Structure 1
Amino acid sequence: MHELFARSAARHPDRTALEVDGRTFSYAELDRLSDRLAGLILRRAGRRPARVGLLAARSLTAYAGYLAALRLGAAAVPINPAHPPARQLAVVKDGTLDLVVDAPSRTRDGTRARPDLGVPSLLVDEASLTEPADGTGAAEGDDGGDRPGGTAAAPPRPDDIAYILYTSGSTGAPRGVPVRHANIVPFIDWAVDACGLGPQDRTSQNVEFSFDVAVYEMFVTWAAGGALVVPRANDVLRPSRFVGEHRITHWFCVPSLGSLAERTGALAPGSMPTLTKVMLGGERLTAEQARQWAEAAPNAVLHNMYGPTEMSVVCVHKDLGGFGRLVPAGSNGTMPIGEVLPHLESVVLGEDGQPATTGELCLRGPQRFAGYLDPAHNEGRFLRRRPGAAAVALPAGEAPRDTDWYRTGDLVRAEGEGLVFLGRLDDQVKVRGHRIEVGEVEAQLARHPAVREAVVVAHHAGPESTLVAHYTGTVTPPAELTGFLRERLPRYMLPSRFLHRESFPLNTNGKIDRRSLPAPDLGQTPH
């Protein structure tokens, strides 16, 4: 990955690589600063580290730190500063980190908010990197002296880990996903071409490092010689203003962020003419959301991007077209996720483990990771298929082979415009003996003209499960919503309650946080 940046630094040394905190850094400058930080890391660690934590966000330290770790041949391990200390400590321990690069952050009362992570840390502020190499402004943990520089890069092997991200596990403990250079580089090469990025382009870096989309935003942009522009956290909620002020050409976000912006008037038609590409992913994309983005960015092509962290950012893709020429929505009212990338393989498996039109999406190919950091988490996540036989799960404790299939846990259907995302398999519930995919109910409810977004949650009261629909938009009588759905869904799929929300809670990745939706008081009056 570092070689992709270094190549652009050699070709375009004077072009802008990074704009952050009101400052602009060329490729040559960012290369030099990351080299300096690599030297500081070496001095603090006493050797070349294998895994470097990055407790930093939206700062020069964060970006230089990521590049410095890769320059040293280490795996970069983002640690979200907004996460609770217990979660941060779990990442440090599970990832067996050698050192953590820490950027200054403070609590509201001005004190340093810095948990004890139990490993050496290197506190680096901007002055530590940008002051002249005279021994002043040394990072905390460095003894000053001659400023390190000219750190020899350590070219990684393809099977070396490039970065480790953590996803939520069903047990509540985060699962470490190690992604190798051999996994991520094929995606970056594909994305530079598919997304039409070049040195003239400017990408907004909208997500935190702990979300794999950040890898796209940084390294696809840098591989193409473009500029990475870092908004402040609140800027992404007002996309039209930020895009216009900073002449952004490429934008990647989750669909729900656009819905939030639309409610505040920040996604008005024609408001983002500089955008040439809008990438949407991480959630189901409704036809209405796609239309809003196409109208707001009339000169842009929309792309629907799908991919679990385990498949290296994006593995299924659909060019949706643009203003006035969007492809049709799928049968459930959502935009198709499209086709698997050309260098990957996919199969849709039914409940019997045989190929089917509707079923679980399984994937393999060079972007597929080799297994979780904790091998115990591999259980049930990989399948082996033999010609003519049903797919079977790998025996417990057996490491997956390159030819094995990763189970995404996502339910899809093959339709005319490619695959359509239906929802998570673990979102399936049984109501009165019928198996229901709540994503189908959500998609149909979102078609009602008064509904902007819909989330359907199963609640268990005694032996029976009931469906509760949460929605944003205009308050609408439950009878009207029930009647609307009754024309589109079987009776057993109808929610028993409809609860209006001004907005949905979002997690740190900007996705709707279903777990934070309050359980309904079954005695209250629905509305």
Structure 2
Amino acid sequence: MLQDWFADGLARNPDGPALRILGRDWAYTEVDALARAWAAAVAGAGAADTPVAVLASKTPEAYIGLLAALYAGAPAVPLNPENPVARNAAVLRAAGCGAVIAAPDTTGQLARLLESAPVHVVLAPDTDRAALPAKLPSAVGGARVLRADEAAASGAGGGWRPRAGSPDDIAYLLFTSGSTGTPKGVPVSHGNVSAFLAAALPRYDVRPEDRFSQVHETTFDLALCDIFPAWAGGACVCVLSRLQALDPARWVRRYGLTVWHSTPSLARGLQRADRLVPGGLAGLRQSVFAGEPLLLDTARYWQRAAPDGVLDNIYGPTELTIACTAFRWHPDQDLSDPVYGATVPIGAPNDGMAAMLLAPDGSPADRSGELVMTGPQMFRGYLDPAQDTDRFLESGGRRWYRTGDQVRRTVHGYVHLGRKDAQVKVNGYRVEVGEVEAVLRDTAGTDAVAFALDGPGGIRLVAYLLGDAEPDTADLAERLAGRLPPYMLPRHLWWLADAPLNAHGKTDRTRLREDAVHRLGHEGEATP
């Protein structure tokens, strides 16, 4: 079970720091005690055996709440308070959450969130009793409100024991972008995560003295690539804000970071601004990049700043549990052959995982094709079984997941060639452009076309509104912000009365793409 990996770290380093946020440390024993108390409070209030939402962003509740859900024997459902209330409420309903553990800065959102979600228990922030009724009534939308500080002080968690379960039980539920406009719920089992950890831990040789950066939101599964490998080894998870993550040299020194993990976009931005000096990241023994293609020149730039460590490029959709392939990059490797392009390979499958390639007609391919994988890290299927359509295939007596990613097989493992469908990565987040278009059409009441453009500033979403009447784009942008997370909002909205048509009488996306590149004033290529 996933919580057993935390227990391993607790046994290795009980008095050492498990979590650091803004210079404040929480020891393993402290995290364990709080998680037990919160689990006891939630389960004792009638929310046992139902998913537990964790409404928090890089606060103690985000991490201890995740562990508390596991201790309660319930799937954890991370929610980002920066996302629109309507989207978070849709996730609560879809997941069937019976409880919410909330951070102090979310009290303003809770009442609105619970108006449309059938939640029974809220573990409220630690607020003064006099202020609590004004901020959060003792009953909101029919939910019973508990005080997190009172639960911790009651001692009720002292005798609480994490519930026994099966590797097939769901550890957490994440919701990714869906092409129909509805987020896809991805249930990941304890067995799936344990298989990932069993493959990753020997690779990283985690030690109690290690300090892991943590720059991702917990709604992004790459955050778990920091949290549980660190905790399994008795190391410390050091949480960085967005601004702190943009100055890694400072925080590597201040926190004594030894393991860095981020998307390539962050490193690319530092490279463009030339923010890293040679040796500026001395002390890092491991750097890990994931979520999108890592350019070779960015890897070289980072390695010059972190000469004492190794650099890994890992890959994996949420459905294959955090990362299912890995490649260790070395500065002296010869990857200049045109077959590799300008990106670092994603490498070979993790132990226990199997891969094959499919040609466009669905037949097996040898050198390049769609990457299809199976093994213990593969989830069983989406929360909504209807979304399983065309995502799986049966071959050789096994069920395989179709990633939608095009790859080439090389002597260095696989090289990522791009997406097969209309799915893209924006700052490491997976985005279905079709979902953006669907929300645009519904909000604007007119047709819409969206693209992801790859330019000097990185991937950005842009969109055209197609119709007779020019919309109020400022008003539309405000309404879109109420329905889409920040990373899914188009950076530019343009209106066209007459859409260009191709020979088949359909909207000519190629011409619109070329027009978008021209408007932005740079040469770029839209991600398909």
Under TM normalisation by the shorter chain, which class is it?
0.7 to 0.9
Gaps of 5+ in 1: 129-137, 387-401, 429-437, 440-456, 475-509
Aligned to 1:40: 41
Q: Distance in 2 between matches of 1:240 and 1:266?
A: 9
Q: Distance in 2 between matches of 1:168 and 1:112?
A: 22
Q: CA deviation at 1:208?
A: 0.4
Letter in 1 for 2:170: I
Q: Which has the higher helix share?
A: 2
Matched, 1:115 2:99: no
Q: CA deviation at 1:7?
A: 2.2
Q: Distance in 1 between matches of 2:340 and 2:93?
A: 45
Q: Distance in 1 between matches of 2:167 and 2:68?
A: 18
Letter in 2 for 1:39: A
The equivalent position to 2:214 in structure 1, one of 205, 211, 230, is 205
Matched, 1:403 2:398: yes
Tell which has more relative contact order, 1 or 2 (C-alpha 8 A, sep 6+). Answer: 2
CA RMSD of aligned residues (A): 3.2
Deviations 1:229-264 (A, max 9, x none): 111231111111111211101111110111122334
The equivalent position to 1:328 in structure 2, one of 325, 329, 335, is 335
Q: Distance in 1 between matches of 2:160 and 2:262?
A: 35
Letter in 1 for 2:455: Y
Judge conservation of contact 1:102–1:124 (CA < 8 Å) in 2.
yes
Letter in 2 for 1:358: S
Deviations 1:480-510 (A, max 9, x none): xxxxxxxxxxxxxxxxxxxxxxxxxxxxxx9
Matched, 1:148 2:156: yes
Relative to 1, partners in 2 of residues 1:42 and 1:338: Cα closer, same or farther, differing over 3 Å?
Answer: same
Relative to 1, partners in 2 of residues 1:521 and 1:315: Cα closer, same or farther, differing over 3 Å?
Answer: closer
Relative to 1, partners in 2 of residues 1:268 and 1:332: Cα closer, same or farther, differing over 3 Å?
Answer: same
Gaps of 5+ in 2: 129-137, 139-143, 426-432, 438-448, 459-484, 495-514, 523-528
Judge conservation of contact 2:62–2:103 (CA < 8 Å) in 1.
yes
Q: Distance in 1 between matches of 2:418 and 2:332?
A: 26
Aligned to 1:29: 30
Judge conservation of contact 1:198–1:225 (CA < 8 Å) in 2.
yes
Judge conservation of contact 1:52–1:98 (CA < 8 Å) in 2.
yes
Matched, 1:257 2:291: no
Aligned to 1:269: 278
Judge conservation of contact 1:43–1:142 (CA < 8 Å) in 2.
no
Judge conservation of contact 2:55–2:106 (CA < 8 Å) in 1.
no
Q: CA deviation at 1:50?
A: 2.5
Aligned to 2:374: 364
Q: How do 1:138-217 and structure 2 match up within 5 A?
A: 140-142=145-147, 146-149=154-157, 150-217=159-226
Q: Distance in 2 between matches of 1:123 and 1:326?
A: 52
Relative to 1, partners in 2 of residues 1:335 and 1:41: Cα closer, same or farther, differing over 3 Å?
Answer: same
The alignment partner of 2:323 has SS state of coil
Judge conservation of contact 1:167–1:176 (CA < 8 Å) in 2.
yes
Relative to 1, partners in 2 of residues 1:26 and 1:470: Cα closer, same or farther, differing over 3 Å?
Answer: closer
Relative to 1, partners in 2 of residues 1:468 and 1:155: Cα closer, same or farther, differing over 3 Å?
Answer: closer
The alignment partner of 1:151 has SS state of coil
Q: How do 1:50-129 and structure 2 match up within 5 A?
A: 50-105=50-105, 115-117=112-114, 118=117, 119-125=119-125
Relative to 1, partners in 2 of residues 1:349 and 1:121: Cα closer, same or farther, differing over 3 Å?
Answer: same
Q: CA deviation at 1:22?
A: 2.5
Q: Distance in 2 between matches of 1:469 and 1:378?
A: 29
Aligned length: 432
What TM-score do the two structures reach when normalised by structure 2? Answer: 0.75
Deviations 1:449-478 (A, max 9, x none): xxxxxxxx99x9xxxx9999652279xxxx
Q: CA deviation at 1:410?
A: 0.3
Q: How do 1:307-456 and structure 2 match up within 5 A?
A: 307-321=316-330, 324-326=331-333, 328=335, 330-356=339-365, 357-386=367-396, 403-427=398-422
Structure 1 stretch 54-63 or stretch 169-178: which is displaced more? 54-63
Judge conservation of contact 2:316–2:322 (CA < 8 Å) in 1.
yes
Matched, 1:291 2:300: yes
Relative to 1, partners in 2 of residues 1:252 and 1:63: Cα closer, same or farther, differing over 3 Å?
Answer: same
Judge conservation of contact 1:179–1:369 (CA < 8 Å) in 2.
yes
The alignment partner of 2:220 has SS state of coil
Aligned to 2:456: 472
Judge conservation of contact 1:249–1:276 (CA < 8 Å) in 2.
yes
Q: Distance in 1 between matches of 2:15 and 2:229?
A: 19
Q: Distance in 1 between matches of 2:112 and 2:243?
A: 25
Deviations 1:292-350 (A, max 9, x none): 111111111110100000000111110112xx434525532111111111211000111
